[in-house]
Structure 1
Amino acid sequence: MFFTMGRFAVPSQSEVNSSPGTRRTRGSWNPRQEETSLQLVRMWLYLAALLGLYYLRRWYRERQTVENLQDKYVLITGCDSGFGNLLARQLDVRGLRVLAACLTEKGAEQLRKATSERLQTVILDVTSTDSIAAATAWVKAQVGDRGLWGLVNNAGTVLPVAPNEWLTKADFVKVLDVNLIGLIEVTLSVLPLVKRARGRVVNVSSILGRLVFYGGGYCPSKYGVEAFSDSLRRELHPFGVKVSIMEPGYFRTAMTDMQRNLESLEQLWHRASPEVKASYGQHYFNSSHRYMQKNLIEKCSPNLYLVTDCLEHALTARHPRTRYSGGWDAQFFFIPLSYLPTAVADWVLTRDWPSPAQAM
């Protein structure tokens, strides 16, 4: 139907839309666009289904446990307190034969009183080659031809912690000797026993093996643990040995004891040279002191089971993970932050830091 204006006939809107070859108006139905939208919906549904199947398969695999756990020996270092102490008691309840290495006789005695007769202790200083050799000989005598099913390198230290300029080479070596060099020497010493059992090596690193938050030897040592563990995992795969890395967040252990950390910071400040003190200023030290105190109180979780449950899984599951992240801060803050651009991570990590006296 046409509406007329003088001598000209103007088609109606419906006829324009229905006329072949004419341009469609806004809001008109487009089969091609609808088909594209349906393809996108199907693609996302397929992707969601694949992810669901992947996590379902992983959940099923991770629920499968190793058989005959009661016949397997596990050596744990650093059992005087913290993660090592709790893991030793936890595995003892599970029925494994725990060989708990403690630094002090007092720590060993307290652990023996809290566990069954299956658990045995040995004194081990991971910074001493002689101590490591003696402990290795003792472990070899205990396990015999069965070999060592699990090695958990848990022993560690953190102090001193401070801006790098406040520290000396000896301060770095003190931490690296325990956390990295000691870990490597213990691993190499008992590795033949682990290979005999086709067992597990579990190295306790830290979320600070991904992101550096403060100066001192702790963060470099944990980066080293990550590198050593990665190379070891690839080398030992043909022998049937599995290597896992534990990356805890902040937890309330002996290493995060507030009094010890604050006293160490004060000693380092008093020891610093006049040039360093002038560069940073007393206000910087006072603010750092308050900042450390606040973080050690507020950010450290008391629930050590978030870590020891992961360590137990790494030792008892048929298909352990390569990496475990213990703590909500590790999983939902530090790990996502580690994937962001460096400039963003730097701003997030340092936005609350005090400003030095001679800052630009």
Structure 2
Amino acid sequence: MDWVQSEPVLLYLAVSAAFAGSALHKSIKNKVKAGRSGVCWLLLSLLIMATFSFFLLSGGAGLSVFIVSCITCYISIPVNDLLPAEDKAVLITGCDSGLGHALAKHLDELGVLVFASVLDKEGQGAEDLRRICSSRLAVIQLDVTNSEEIKAACSEIKSRLQGLWGVVHNAGVMGYVADGELLPITVYKQCMDVNFIGAAHITKVFLPLLRKAKGRLVSISSMAGHTPIPGLAAYAASKAALTMYCAVMRQDLFKWGVKVAAIHPSGFRTNIFGSRENWSSQSQSFLDSLMPDVKEDYGEEYLETFKDLHREMVATSSSDLTPVLEDVCHALLARKPHFSYAPGRFAHFIPCLFRYFPLWVYDHFARQIFKNRRNILPRSLRRSQTTTNSRS
């Protein structure tokens, strides 16, 4: 154990302790949500840097590299430097319920002038916002697929403001969850119209106001927008389009001083799943739309598994929307916002698994996502498998 007592090792330990303490202090001061995964990554990074520097580089050179690496990591810890919220005006789409509803309340509490757009201005969600929030908040009728309502909403906001600080594209639909071949084309069209075309249309109409304020364009995309998840062909394709749209708009709007951010949450319990009754109704419509030969190939047992997905998705989703709300607020109010945010459990791990590991590793993981469908094959595949086994 003499090597433990050697001077270089003691220096490495001293630098490590100083770095860990400083990083922890900065994280607590700026309310950085590290969590277990963040702590693990910090410790792992520290171990890798120390091992590389100590064993692969000699003497002072290794220690210098290690110190520089620690300083770089420390600088990369985000600083919670926020702009004042009281003089900001923000439009949020899809505020009838779920995340948009919660975000409208949260920003209103911070002092933001919120324009909460809803599908039904006389509905329960709109009424709750009027009753709970301050008099600053304005409820606006806005269907993101309706050109006339988009123009009317813009005229209403223009009559009150010279510039608009932020637009948050929150309105979204998932449609039904099933194999891509089985989804009705209407589901693909609805997802694209609401999740992508609607966001692009609103951006185009409201950009003159955003450019005047040199404000923020924030889109609630999804982890499925850059990571393939079985059963979400329509939803994921629309969110992938939205994600790439944000990436290009970030470049296009940079010269105007408008900052663009995309939020990629993992599973959160919002109204995007719809009610169980609505899911059952969609399930029946979905079954009725299938061609007889397709229905025969997949079989009733396989098709029945989709009916239970609503309960499973709701059960495995987090009801605490705080991580998403905090990231949207950071994107809107931070002096130096990020382009991409990933709130929620496994929001970093799953995309990392898809991008950096062999594809068979991710494929194996993806097959485990929906428990009740893991071991059920379509009827035609079961027959082929039975025939092959009997011949062997």
TM-score (norm 2): 0.76
Q: Is the 8 A contact 1:207 1:335 kept in 2?
A: no
Q: Per-residue deviation at 1:139? A: 1.4
1:107-131 per-residue CA deviation (whole Å, 9 max, x = no partner) reads: 2222111100111110100001111
Identify which range, 184-193 or 266-275, moves more after superposition: 266-275
Of residues 67, 80, 83 in structure 2, which corresponds to 1:63? Answer: 80
Provide the C-alpha distance between the structure 2 equivalents of 1:36 and 1:48, rounded to a whole number of angstroms. Answer: 8
Structure 1 residues 118 and 333, CA gap change in structure 2 (3 angstroms): same
Q: Per-residue deviation at 1:43? A: 6.9
Structure 1 residues 88 and 174, CA gap change in structure 2 (3 angstroms): same
Task: Report whether the alignment pairs 1:82 with 2:93.
Answer: no
Partner residue in 2 for 1:174: 190
2:376 is matched by which residue type in structure 1?
P
Note the residue ranges of structure 2 that are not aligned, 5 or more in a row: 1-52, 369-373, 385-392
Task: Report whether the alignment pairs 1:152 with 2:168.
Answer: yes
Structure 1 residues 43 and 255, CA gap change in structure 2 (3 angstroms): farther
Provide the C-alpha distance between the structure 1 equivalents of 2:375 and 2:219, rounded to a whole number of angstroms. Answer: 31
Q: Per-residue deviation at 1:104? A: 0.9
Q: Per-residue deviation at 1:341? A: 2.9
Structure 1 residues 187 and 40, CA gap change in structure 2 (3 angstroms): farther
1:36-86 per-residue CA deviation (whole Å, 9 max, x = no partner) reads: 9362687775565445433432435x311114x211111111111111111
Q: Secondary structure at the match of 2:172?
A: coil
1:295-306 correspondence to structure 2 within 5 Å: 295-306=312-323
1:206-240 per-residue CA deviation (whole Å, 9 max, x = no partner) reads: 00001121244211100000110000001111111
Task: Report whether the alignment pairs 1:206 with 2:239.
Answer: no
1:243 is matched by which residue type in structure 2?
V
Q: Per-residue deviation at 1:353? A: 6.0
1:203-352 correspondence to structure 2 within 5 Å: 203-213=219-229, 214-257=231-274, 259=276, 260-290=278-308, 292-293=309-310, 295-351=312-368, 352=374
TM-score (norm 1): 0.83
Provide the C-alpha distance between the structure 2 equivalents of 1:159 and 1:54, rounded to a whole number of angstroms. Answer: 44
Q: Secondary structure at the match of 1:330?
A: coil
Structure 1 residues 36 and 249, CA gap change in structure 2 (3 angstroms): closer
Q: Is the 8 A contact 1:157 1:255 kept in 2?
A: yes
Higher RCO, Cα 8 Å, sep 6+: 1
Provide the C-alpha distance between the structure 2 equivalents of 1:294 and 1:191, rounded to a whole number of angstroms. Answer: 40
Identify which range, 198-207 or 298-307, moves more after superposition: 298-307
Q: Secondary structure at the match of 1:151?
A: strand
Q: How many percent identity over aligned positions?
A: 32
Q: Is the 8 A contact 1:161 1:265 kept in 2?
A: no
Q: Secondary structure at the match of 2:261?
A: strand
Task: Report whether the alignment pairs 1:110 with 2:128.
Answer: yes
Provide the C-alpha distance between the structure 1 equivalents of 2:262 and 2:64, rounded to a whole number of angstroms. Answer: 32
Note the residue ranges of structure 1 that are not aligned, 5 or more in a row: 1-34
Partner residue in 2 for 1:355: 377
| Matched residue count | 321
Larger radius of gyration: 1
| Bigger fraction of residues in strand | 1
1:30-41 correspondence to structure 2 within 5 Å: 37=55, 39=57
Provide the C-alpha distance between the structure 2 equivalents of 1:218 and 1:302, rounded to a whole number of angstroms. Answer: 21
Task: Report whether the alignment pairs 1:100 with 2:122.
Answer: no
Task: Report whether the alignment pairs 1:143 with 2:161.
Answer: yes
Q: Secondary structure at the match of 1:74?
A: strand
Q: Per-residue deviation at 1:138? A: 1.0
Q: Is the 8 A contact 1:233 1:243 kept in 2?
A: yes
Q: Secondary structure at the match of 2:354?
A: helix
1:324-343 per-residue CA deviation (whole Å, 9 max, x = no partner) reads: 01101213334443432333
Q: What is the root-mean-square deviation of aligned Cα atoms in Å?
A: 2.3
Structure 1 residues 167 and 122, CA gap change in structure 2 (3 angstroms): same
Partner residue in 2 for 1:191: 207
